[in-house]
Amino acid sequence: MANRYIIVTFLSLFFIAFSHNAFAEELLSKEQFIEKAFGQKEASKGRLRFKEEVKTTAQKIMGSRYKKILMRYWIEGNRTAWILNRIGKVKPITAGFIIEDCKIVSVHVLVYRESHGWEIKYPSFRDQFGGIGMQKNLKLDKNIDGISGATMSVSSMRIMTRLALAMNELVPDIKCL
């Protein structure tokens, strides 16, 4: 009887400990994403301190509770790459954004952790972000079609796209019109 109790307790704890990542799917590693962004070129690492205009802009897009120390990116010429996180419905979505000449080149879902809304990882959804830029009011200059049943994930991708484009404009070596 004691052995049964120990086994049930162990299995319960095992399930609880690992169930939070039961739906996590790494689609692309950070290294693979950087290689997609820059190929064999050596990109420099950059960072924006989360102060003044960076903080104000990020919090306008992400909400006043958004706190960071640094916004990290990679840069080569006029191309930048950003890896950002945003809660979908209850778990974070990790996405990568490649920007050149202040327009989205491509968007990638690196890690998807939700149990539904996973359709955002497919090219049929992600391809519509290509060529999108930022308007002066921190809005995207093109509409993104949603996916039935993935409203929160689609919204998170739109918001992260806005953040990537806004932060790109604040990189010292980047000039957007």
pLDDT in tens, 91-142: 999 999 999 999 999 999 999 998 888 889 899 999 999 999 999 899 999 9
- Within a domain: 1: no
Write b or e for each residue in 101-124: b if 16 or more Cβ atoms lie within 10 A of its Cβ, otherwise e.
ebbbbbbbbbbbbbeebbebbeee
User: Which tokens is 81 given?
Assistant: 């790459």
- Within a domain: 175: no
Domain containing residue 134: 23-169
- Within a domain: 158: yes
How many domains would you assign to the chain?
1
- Within a domain: 66: yes
What band does 1 get if pLDDT is binned at 50, 70 and 90?
Answer: low
CA atoms within 13 A on the CB side of 160: 27
Q: How far apart are CA 119 and CA 147, in angstroms?
A: 8
pLDDT at 18: 44
The reply to whether the predicted model has a pTM over 0.75 is: yes
